[in-house]
Every structure is written in C-alpha cells, then in structure tokens.
Chain A
C-alpha cells in the first residue's frame, strides 16, 4: 500500500509542528523519516497512523483517507518506548495484542511462532518481559507490530539506544519484513541508517526539506555524507514532493 501526504500541517497551540508536508511513499518501499530530535518525525508518524488529525491537508493509505479506524487492521506500529507489558511474558504480550486483531487461536499461535523466530526470541517466549534486555524488548516490540501481517509498518525510532551489532540485526529483520511486500516507514535521527532505506524524507523544523531515493540524495552531496543533505536542502528551503 502506498502512502500519500498532501500539504499536511499540524499545530499544537501556537506551535506549528508540521508545516505543509507533502510526499508519496511507494508501496513496498522502506522510507526513512530522517531529522534531528524534535524535528517533527514522531508527529508525522502519528498523523500517518491516524493518532492525530491534520489541521490542513490530507493523508491517504491506499485509497483510505486517514484517520480511519478500520485501517488500523492493516497498520503495524512500533512506538519509540517499546510499549510492552513488563509483568507479562513475551508470549502473553503477543497473545494479548493478537487477540485484539481477532486472529483466531490456531492462526495466532502459528504467527507467534513465526514472529518469535524472525526476531530470535523463541527460547525466551515464556520469560517475563521485565527480565528482558533493552535489545530483546526492541525485538519483541517489533514482533508485536508485525504479528497481524500489516500492509504498512510504522517504526518510531526503533534503533535508539541500541548497540551497533543489534542495530544491524534489527535492520536485517526490517529488510526481511519488506521482502514480504510490507511498506515500512521508519523514523530515525541516525544519519547512517538512511543507507538502509529506498527513499528518505528529510524533516527539519516540521518542514520537508528533501525527499528522494537515497542514491539521488547522496549524488547531491560533495563527500557522500548524509549530514550534508540537511545543509544543502536547508539552503534550498522546503519543497512539496507529492
């Protein structure tokens, strides 16, 4: 499913958080929302999911205009702070979220086995989450987000606070999920992670300052450093890529 944003703006009181942002994420792509902390990445994700309504403009996932309750069946979401029940086991967390999607007992157990294998937590399925390491929590959080096989997956800063080896493993898992046809939107402030994506949207002060394929974006730099993109695009000002 593709995602289309048309001139989206959102304010909180006097604060303009998202300023006339427009671009299209192609179906099956990994799109990176790249920008420094506080640039508006999380707000943009919350708008795309439908957790917030835009003040101006529109957001469409496939043919559905967001926010839309029934579209939540097709959306997977991994929040920044994991969103796990510490007093439950990994399996019980998955069973609970799976039951909300009404997966059916057999399908749910099958999917739990599949996602735990994917995130390499099969041996830890009975352990209470409060005994998990930070990395294990991230992987379980990802497993919950993909449990119901969503068409679109939103990952809010999934690798923040994660060591480089685990980060590599997590990105491998994203690539595996993408291979099944899922569109992935991932926010990050780690510049190098843009290299893992098909396209990147550069967000700065709530504005879209560049959106293109990663090779095209890197072609615009002198030294091939992602940070330069912010400097270059910042000089050019925000653009609408819808």
Chain B
C-alpha cells in the first residue's frame, strides 16, 4: 500500500499540470472569488432633482455616492439614456421613489447608501441591525468564503483522481496491477493515501492563504477545518475512483461533472437548504460536499469545536466507507476470486 502511495506521489509530481491543478488552481480561483465577491470601492451614481433641498443633497453627499442634480421627467427614459447612472431619487408630496436600472449588486449598494443618507436626516428611521454571527455590511466573500474551501478541496482532488484512475483503467495499468498479488483494499487505500498527501498540502495552502492573505475570519480552531478538508479530499479520491468506473475516457469524466459535482455546489451552503422547495434540500444528505461545507461553516462561522461537527465528520467517514466498498466491488471484476 505504501509503495502504491509512493508511486502515485512520484507519478503526480512528474506531471506538472496535476501539481498545478492541486496547489495553484485553488489559490488562483480563490483570489478571483475574493475580488469578485469582496468589498468593492464602487461609488454608485444617484441623480436628485436639481431643486432638491440643500439638506437632502448634503446628506446624500455625505454617503459613498456620486450625487448629480438634474431635471428628470421620465426616470425610465433617463436611465436608458444615461448608462452611468445607477439610481434616480425622487421625493414628492405623494412619497419617495427610487428608480433603478435593474436588480443587481450595484443597485443594492445604491439603495443601501440612499437608506443611510435618509437615516442621517431622520434618526428615528435609523434601524440598527445586529447579527449573532458576522456583521452588517460584510462582503459576500466573508459570508460564503467557507463554501469555497470545501468545494475546492473536493473538486480538484476529485478531478485528479478520477482522471488518473480512468487512465489506469484504459491504459491497462490497473489490470496489470490486479494481476499481481496485491490486495484490492491495498489498491484503494494506496491511491487514497497517495492523493491524500497532496490533499494535506492543498488544505494547508488553501486554509492559510484564505485566512492570512485573503483575510477570511474563522471563529473556531482552524485545526478542525484542516481535519474536515483532509477528510473531504479523501472522500473526493474515492468519489473520483467510483466515477471512473463508469467512464471509459477522461472526456467521459468531464461529461459526468454536470451530474455529479455541479448539483453539489448548490447544496454546499450557497443557498439555505430550507429555502429549496419540495423538500429537495434533503438531497444534500447524499452529497459529500454538504457534510464538509456544513462542518467548515460550523467551525469558521459559528466557532464550534469537535462537538459541533462530529455528526458531519461521521457523515463524511460513512460516505467514504460506502465508496470504499463500492470500489472494492468494482475492482472485483478484474479478478475471478
């Protein structure tokens, strides 16, 4: 088993693209996600009527807004003609109207800033929001960053192991290996251990980079995050091995990603499960990323220790156990005994 793990490690190290896939790709994508979902220094452009009260204009200008004064007869037409304007604010006897280009993060930011300006004018309307976990105004990356930790630790190891094992099946190395006195369990554990080494290194890279470079906060002990990510990666090796049974080529592995990985993304914590209709949220229990993502959220967002994550850790172990047995069965076809 150790020799097989050693072989997997050397073989992967000799393939620079695989090393890049495991170690560099997650950091690159996390950085992109950080910039895409992180704090933006965008300043929304809001148009006020040119006869607006000075007090109102000053309140708007005190917020992060680019305030323009103009005469607007038709807000819809005005927004069509002025692509750089995000919102038009109109206060009349009948009430207050905000017209926006489209529902978007830019529009949301404009509305937030307008509300802040109105609160400044009327402190009684100022609503203070308190959260048990997290804080008002935190970026999307701060809210969902943990999801990407679990997604990446699973996805890249899955790709690597599924591709490698399909290649082993089609290239005849697996058949040859199973015509030696090696035990089937040793084969599966050898692969898991070999790729597990990369999973450990990858987890260290991802967690340290996310926390110390990208500034994602963790309320709990990051040791538990490491544990979950390594378990996730181990499960990903077995998941990839299982999927490779149904694929005859690397292309077919790619074809299976929409059926096996993409649905898991939506059940990983990006969307609260109780918002999903028809009880479809229960599908998460058959998805390994759910267990990993939930455990990581428990540690990083809620500050839980082992007592808060053991159920999910157990879920991952049971999942890995089932996949191990499936792989044992699949390898059985190479041996008549």
What's the nearest-Cβ distance from chain B to residue A149, in Å? 14
Contact yes or no, B181 A70, CB < 8 A: yes
Contact yes or no, A92 B7, CB < 8 A: yes
Name B3's contact: one of A66, A86, A99 (CB within 8 Å).
Answer: A99
Dominant secondary structure at the A interface: loop
Q: Which residues of B contact A52 (CB under 8 A)?
A: 336
The answer to whether A218 has its CB under 8 Å from any CB of chain B is no
Q: Which residues of A contact B170 (CB under 8 A)?
A: 81
Dominant secondary structure at the B interface: helix
The answer to whether B83 has its CB under 8 Å from any CB of chain A is no
Contact yes or no, B179 A128, CB < 8 A: no
List CB contacts (< 8 Å) of A19-61 with chain B.
Answer: 46-47, 49-54
The answer to whether B15 has its CB under 8 Å from any CB of chain A is yes
Q: Which residues of B contact A92 (CB under 8 A)?
A: 7, 10
What's the nearest-Cβ distance from chain A to residue B231, in Å? 27
Cα A68 to Cα B181 with chains together (Å): 10
Contact yes or no, A50 B10, CB < 8 A: no
Q: Can you identify 13 A-B contacts, CB atoms within 8 angstroms? A: A51-B179, A51-B336, A72-B179, A72-B181, A75-B179, A77-B176, A79-B176, A83-B171, A84-B171, A87-B11, A100-B182, A101-B180, A144-B176
Q: Which residues of A contact B11 (CB under 8 A)?
A: 85, 87-88
Contact yes or no, A100 B180, CB < 8 A: yes
- Chain A: CB-nearest residue to B13: A87
For chain A, which range describes its interface: under 10, 10 to 19, 20 to 34, or 35 or more residues?
Answer: 35 or more
Which among B4, B6, B14 has the greatest number of chain A C-beta atoms within 10 A? B14
The answer to whether B49 has its CB under 8 Å from any CB of chain A is no
Residues on B close to A: CB < 8 A?
A: 3-4, 6-7, 10-12, 14-15, 170-173, 175-182, 334-337
Cα A100 to Cα B182 with chains together (Å): 6
The answer to whether A225 has its CB under 8 Å from any CB of chain B is no
Name B181's contact: one of A51, A54, A79, A101 (CB within 8 Å).
Answer: A101
Contact yes or no, B335 A50, CB < 8 A: yes
The answer to whether A132 has its CB under 8 Å from any CB of chain B is no
Q: A72-B180, A100-B181 are in contact. Are A80 and B337 (CB under 8 A)?
A: no
What's the nearest-Cβ distance from chain B to residue A92, in Å? 6
The answer to whether A168 has its CB under 8 Å from any CB of chain B is no
Which among A68, A80, A87 has the greatest number of chain B C-beta atoms within 10 A? A87
Q: Which residues of A contact B176 (CB under 8 A)?
A: 77, 79, 83, 97, 144
Q: A88-B10, A96-B7, A128-B14 are in contact. Are A83 and B175 (CB under 8 A)?
A: yes
Contact yes or no, B172 A51, CB < 8 A: no
What's the nearest-Cβ distance from chain A to residue B67, in Å? 61
Name A68's contact: one of B7, B15, B175, B337 (CB within 8 Å).
Answer: B337
